[in-house]
Structure 1
Amino acid sequence: MIKLIAIDLDGTLLTDDKQISARNIETLQQAKAQGVKVVLCTGRPLNSVVGHLETLGLTEPGDYAVTFNGGLVQKNDTGEILSKDIMSFEDVATIFDLTQELSLPLDVVSNETVYRIQPQPAAYPSLYNQLNSILRFEDRTLAELPQDRDFNKMVCAIEGDYLEQQLPKIPASFHERYNIVRSGERLFEFLNKHVTKANGLVKLGQILGIDQSEMMALGDEENDLSMIDYAGLGVAMANASAEIKEMAQYITDSNEEDGVAKAVEKFVLNETP
């Protein structure tokens, strides 16, 4: 029996215009009413998804989220951090040097603040503020960056064609040291090596006493791959990457066609005890 539904946002729960459909809202509220934990698993910080949590009715005691691609596990009502995996200033400096060599812009996310590290490549400025306008952005040089902050992840946000061109140039040593994942058409991220959405679900499952066999995960992009593989039931969206579809046990309809609701109706609401 499914006791926890882990859901990615962009390309999964959200439509292309970043809304949650009425059918998805109603279905997930029904699942919660049946005692199922509905958990948003996102690369974003908690404060940037509060509106979606409120829409779904997931801001009460006992509601949780996996944020920063698994870097944090948090209580939705208070923001209390139950599990944390972060990066150091030394990591920021190392990755900034790499991005300068590859002519990539770098944004460093620290809780609710995004530091746009200067200088940025003149020909390839960051698009991250366009993709996450709700966050607070500050321009800083590396020397101006506060070293006592928690650094959750580092982001390169550029046009997809250029991203495709530059990604293969990242040395293998960086892949060995960090978890480097693509989280959107114009976005890839550097994370603590231990940070994955699956690891976030492992920790939340330990807190709640829910086994991986009792979890259902839905996603569409590379950063969802770990939780699709980990959960007892991995569900790919029709618009998901080929790799996600190959890993999943079930393929639902697209994010534009209430794919989340249809999968939850099939495997949770219509499930007989």
Structure 2
Amino acid sequence: MAEKILFTDLDGTLLNDEKQISGKNRKAIEQAVAMGHRVVLSSGRATQSVYKQVRKLGLDRPGCYAIAFNGAAVLRCDTGEALYEKGLDFEVAEYLFREAKKAGIHCQTYQAGYTLAERHSEILEFYDRSTQGKSKIVPDIRKALTTHPPKVLLAELTHSGKLEAFKEAHEAALAGKAEATFSCREYLEYLLPGVNKGYALGWLCDYLNVPRADSVAAGDEVNDLSMIRAAGVGAAMVNGVEALRAEADYITQADNNHDGLAEIIYRFILEES
């Protein structure tokens, strides 16, 4: 059997709504790895949050890799070393923080294992809880940043339309400097142009010398589109957004609360009927 590589999103795909990995999903991943296939966790989450899931699955060993920040970083799971990191210009981050403040939208970025924000908010508390992350309040984001940030995230939990309006209003000003994607209805994320999960999938397949035709990608949100387009097989969770399901090669019968990822693994990685 040819070596295959699975790229799986976390929230809404590998994880159930309680942010847990089911026994059946865990068993399917273990079987795939035992048979010589590769499993890559691919998430919009920060490096440290992704790495916690890596350890839970026992993938923190040689030959295992992970994608963080929606493709802005690719990691070796045995050492935590970044094989590459792509960051926004400081001026772009400063612009987004300034304009988000004017629009009354929470804004945050990342550095040295921390989520950085200029003010405390309930949204920041919610984000820390849901990702098991750590945050730090800084008075001036430009002065606080010493490395180019992998992404800037704007968050709005009430679905008021503010994020959609912000994205449209600033598209022209950010052209060629940053690209926006929704990782869920509540999170609007800005990354370096051309950097996304699909880019990371292609880069890692080339790095590992695995044909892209032998890759399988699984996801549920708009930020997974580039990944399922780039993979040999792009699979959407049945609980995924319509835009993703419309372009998927396969849509699961089971959702993320009922082992939908295991369904994908058994069908396309382990090739069981």
Q: 1:266 to 1:147 in 2, by over 3 A?
A: closer
Inter-CA distance 126–149: structure 2 relative to 1 (3 Å threshold): farther
What TM-score comes out, normalization by structure 2 length?
0.91
Give the alignment's TM-score, normalised by structure 1: 0.91
| Alpha-carbon distance between aligned partners in 1 of 2:141 and 2:126, rounded to the nearest angstrom | 25
Q: CA RMSD in A?
A: 1.9
User: What SS class does the counterpart of residue 91 from structure 2 fall into?
Assistant: helix
Give the C-alpha shift of residue 108 in structure 1: 1.3
Tell me, in whole angstroms, the C-alpha distance in 1 between the residues paired with 2:63 and 2:190.
30
**Offset at residue 234 of structure 1 (A):** 0.2
Q: Where do 1:230-249 residues align within 5 Å?
A: 230-249=230-249
Q: Which amino acid aligns with 1:218?
A: A
Which piece of structure 1 moves more, 45-54 or 229-238?
Answer: 45-54
Partner of 2:163: 166
Secondary structure of the corresponding residue to residue 82 of structure 1? strand
Alignment check: 8 A CA contact 2:163 2:188 kept? no
Within 5 Å, give how 1:8-23 maps onto structure 2.
8-23=9-24
Q: Percent identity?
A: 30
What do residues 11-58 of structure 1 show as CA deviations (whole Å, max 9, x unaligned)?
A: 000000000000000001100111111000011123213332122220
Is structure 2 residue 228 aligned with structure 1 residue 228? yes
* Residues 55-64 or 149-158, more deviating: 149-158
- Partner in structure 1 of residue 94 of structure 2: 93
Q: Which of residues 130, 134, 137 in structure 1 aligns to 2:135?
A: 137
How many angstroms apart in 1 are the aligned matches of 2:151 and 2:171?
19
Indicate how the Cα distance of structure 1 residues 224 and 258 shifts in structure 2: closer, same or farther if over 3 A, else same: same
**Partner SS state of residue 168, structure 1:** helix
SS at match of 1:12: coil
Aligned-partner Cα distance in 1 for 2:143–2:134: 15
Give the equivalent residue in structure 1 for 2:151: 153
Q: d(CA) in 2 for partners of 1:255 and 1:174?
A: 37
Q: Is the 8 A contact 1:111 1:150 kept in 2?
A: no
Unaligned runs of 5+ in 2: none
CA distance in 1, matches of 2:202, 2:231: 9
Is the 2:118–2:140 Cα contact (8 Å) retained in structure 1? Answer: yes
Asked if the contact 2:16/2:22 (under 8 Å) is kept, the reply is yes
Q: 1:129 and 1:106 mapped to 2: Cα distance? A: 13
- 1:69 maps to 2:70: yes
1:1-273 → structure 2 map (5 Å cutoff): 1=2, 3-118=4-119, 125=121, 127-133=123-129, 134-142=132-140, 145-162=143-160, 164-170=161-167, 171-174=170-173, 176=175, 177-252=177-252, 253-270=254-271
The number of residue pairs the alignment matches comes to 266
Structure 1 contact 158–186 (Cα < 8 Å) conserved: yes
1:196 counterpart letter in structure 2? N
Is the 8 Å Cα contact of residues 138 and 144 (structure 2) preserved in structure 1? no
Query: What amino acid is the match of 1:152?
Result: P
Task: Say which SS state the counterpart of residue 161 (structure 1) adopts.
Answer: coil
The 2-side partners of 1:91 and 1:37 are apart by 35
Aligned structure 1 segments of 4 or more residues deviating by more than 4 angstroms: none
Distance 1:236 1:200, change over 3 A: same
Q: Any gaps of 5 or more consecutive residues in structure 1?
A: none
What is the CA distance between 1:2 and its match in structure 2?
6.0
Q: 1:151 to 1:236 in 2, by over 3 A?
A: same
What residue identity is the alignment partner of 2:135?
F
Q: Cα–Cα, structure 1 residues 82 and 76, in superposed 2: closer, same or farther, change >3 Å? A: same
Matched residue SS, 2:100 = helix
